[in-house]
Amino acid sequence: MKIPIMPLAMITSGKKVRIVSIIGGRGVRGHLANIGLDVGSEIEVLKAGAPGPFLIAIKETRLAIGHGVAHKIMVSDVLF
């Protein structure tokens, strides 16, 4: 069974996902790592960003992610 992978920008509010890859150069990956978004991180989409930014939760932290960056973060469903 293959787990579907899609950009964070396609995820609806209330879903929990896991980051599987980040598309972009060292600068984008470094910036996201600095704010706690690494491959393997589990995040919850609190508010889908259409229009406006995505509001996500990672552990006890809430972050706003722009729509362009959300397209570079590839995620899959969290399997329980």
Ranges of each domain in the chain: 6-77
Per-residue pLDDT of the chain (80 residues; tens, 9 = 90+): 577 999 999 999 999 999 999 998 899 899 999 989 999 999 999 999 777 899 999 989 999 999 999 999 999 998 65
Between strands 61-65 and 42-47, the pairing is unpaired
What distance, in Å, lies between the first and last C-alpha atoms of the chain?
15
In angstroms, the Cα distances linking 44 to 2, 8, 31 are: 22, 10, 19
Element holding 44 (H helix, E strand) = strand 42-47
Q: pTM of the entire structure?
A: 0.88
Question: Contact 12/65 with Cβ under 8 angstroms?
Answer: no
Distance of CA 72 to the CA centre of its chain: 8
CATH top class, domain 6-77? mainly beta
